[in-house]
Amino acid sequence: MKITLPKKVAFIIEQLEQNGFPAYAVGGCVRDSLLGQTPADWDITTSANPQEIKGVFPRTVDTGIAHGTVTVLLEGESFEVTTYRIDGQYEDGRHPKAVVFVDQLAEDLRRRDFTINAMAYHMHHGLVDLFGGRKDLTEGIIRCVGNPKERFTEDALRMMRAVRFSAQLGFVIEPETKAAISHCVEQLSKISKERISTELVKLLISPHPEEMQTLYETGISKLLFPWFDVMMETEQRNNRYHCYTVGGHSLAAVKHISAKPHLRLTMLLHDVGKPNCRTVDNEGRDHFRGHPEISAVMAKEILRGLKMDNDTVDTVSTLVLWHDDEPPLTPAAVRRAIHRIGERHFPDLFLVKRADNAGKSDYGQKEKLAYIENYERLYEEIIAKNQCLNLKDLAVSGADLIAMGMKPGKEIGETLEYLLEQVLEHPEENEKERLLGMLP
């Protein structure tokens, strides 16, 4: 199997070797190349330590000296060059040099997480595949290098990574590896929320976000995302609009929205409050009144708990809050909705509504879709006409009111809101004279 290394990667390897340090492309870039995909980045592993790497290349950045990583800069591109992951037992000088280097590369690969991530490549020596990575890649299998329980005990994050890679690649987790996850799952409580979040988001924006199901089956979600287990276990009985549990519907909705973190998180969480507001009517049908409000509050808490950035927390909780909002389809009502929800959440809100609808049963889908389309058309007309939708576009400002003799304070804000309401109703009124004329 031949991989064409980018010229700069081959150059880095050659430079290191001319200085006496064997080097290989390694990990994700080898995996992606063998899959016929273009790697996002190329990592290089070498016997050189960080000081030695820095001695070979004129331009470097100390990215992770503690982990042996130096970033090498070449004409605006950057490459991570990392010292072999070894414990130092081969550095006693007693081994013949060549053997030491082979052993060191093997030691490095042995410390990597999965067989498909544990291959190295060299333009002259070819593929180094000591753990059957290529076979697992062909067969679509995520398998730990070595004993899975030991590997998960060494680093619990690998359990989340196993599920994430299976979602990214559409691979199955090998049974012994999967069983080891269920066995070791408690150890994930030691991992920082930030690292957990990163893996969750990668899983969600992958081609197979429904692998969330595996988090449930293995007990990972019971520990880290207990609200997801509750959703998976909440039926929507006898409700014509639904053919899944709350969790099943949410995962279907996740699949129906584009793979952006905030959108996928919104669909995952849009009904998270449903289990808390279920009521059953006389005919035995389930209802979930008030669920968007409860879901929005819960989404905010959940995302904060996962240490997501503020913008994601605000955006997702706002989209969750309004996902079921259905204004009457008149221009004025739609303008009021845009003002209420916030212009920046459009047109995302339409994507959310469509995905929610697509994740439901066929019943009533056509009508809902027609509603969304009409809503969107009105929205687009309003935007095309550049109509005033917020205080910043109002023809009257606080300064105008003060100039008229109004005292700074609460009254100014209330007056502006009143004028904005008039303009949302009648956009043609957005002229200073006309608006000021409306005031007593």
Q: Of 150-158, 312-320, 351-359, 380-388, which segment contacts ligand ATP by CB under 6 A?
A: 150-158
Cα 51 from Cα 65, distance rounded (Å): 9
Residues between 161 and 180 that touch ligand ATP (CB under 6 A): none
Q: Using the rule CB under 6 A, is 144 a contact of ligand ATP?
A: no
Residue 17 or 155 having the CB closest to ligand ATP: 155
Residue 245 Cα to chain centre, angstroms: 23
Query: CA 4 from chain center: how many Å?
Result: 30
For residue 146, which of 100, 179, 177 has the smallest C-alpha distance?
A: 177
Q: Which of 6, 8, 10, 28 binds ligand ATP (CB under 6 A)?
A: 28
Number of residues that bind ligand ATP (CB under 6 A): 10
Closer CB to ligand ATP, residue 48 or residue 109? 109
Q: Least distance (Å) from ligand ATP to the CB of residue 199?
A: 9
**Of 114, 174, 175, 111, nearest in space to 139 by CA:** 174
| 95 vs 111: CA distance, rounded Å | 21
Q: Strand 141-142 and strand 172-173: pairing?
A: parallel
Q: Which two tokens stand for residue 299?
A: 């989404």
3-state secondary structure of 338: helix
Residue 28 interacts with Mg ion (CB under 5 A): yes or no: yes
Q: Which stretch binds ligand ATP (CB under 6 A): 153-161, 203-211, 222-230, 236-244?
A: 153-161
Q: Is 112 in the site for ligand ATP (CB under 6 A)?
A: yes
Q: Which amino acid is at 330?
A: T
Taking CB positions, which residue lies at the least distance from ligand ATP? 28
Identify whether the C-beta of residue 234 lies closer than 8 Å to the C-beta of residue 288. no
Whose Cβ is closer to Mg ion: residue 28's or residue 132's? 28
| Member of 155, 210, 217, 293 binding ligand ATP (CB under 6 A) | 155
Say if residues 239 and 204 touch (Cβ distance below 8 Å). no
Binding footprint of Mg ion, residue count (CB under 5 A): 1
Is 158 near ligand ATP (CB under 6 A)? yes
Tell me how far apart the alpha carbons of residues 375 and 305 are, in angstroms, rounded to a whole number. 34
Whether residue 234 contacts residue 278, with contact meaning beta carbons closer than 8 Å, is answered with: yes
Residue 113 in the binding site for ligand ATP (CB under 6 A): yes
Cα 265 to Cα 102, 229, 347, distances in angstroms: 45, 16, 16
State the binding partner of 157 from ligand ATP, Mg ion, none, CB within 5 to 8 A by kind.
ligand ATP
Nearest to 350, CA basis, from 318, 320, 372: 372
Indicate the residue among 113 and 356 with the shorter CB distance to Mg ion: 113
| Whole-angstrom distance, CA of residue 327 vs CA of residue 338 | 10
Query: Interface with ligand ATP includes 27 (CB under 6 A)?
Result: yes
Q: Based on CB atoms, which residue is closest to ligand ATP, 166 or 317?
A: 166
Residues in CB range of 194: below 8 A, 6 or more apart: 307
Site for Mg ion in 320-339 (CB under 5 A): none
Q: How far is the CB of 78 from Mg ion (least distance, A)?
A: 12
Nearest to 427 by CA among 375, 386, 391: 386
CB of 64 to Mg ion, least distance (A): 13
Question: In the complex, what is the shortest distance from the CB of residue 228 to ligand ATP, in angstroms, rounded to a whole number?
Answer: 22
Q: Is 146 in the site for Mg ion (CB under 5 A)?
A: no
When the beta carbons of 160 and 296 are compared against ligand ATP, the nearer one is: 160
In the complex, which residues of this chain contact Mg ion (CB under 5 A)? 28
In the complex, which residues of this chain contact ligand ATP (CB under 6 A)? 27-28, 43, 112-113, 117-118, 155, 157-158
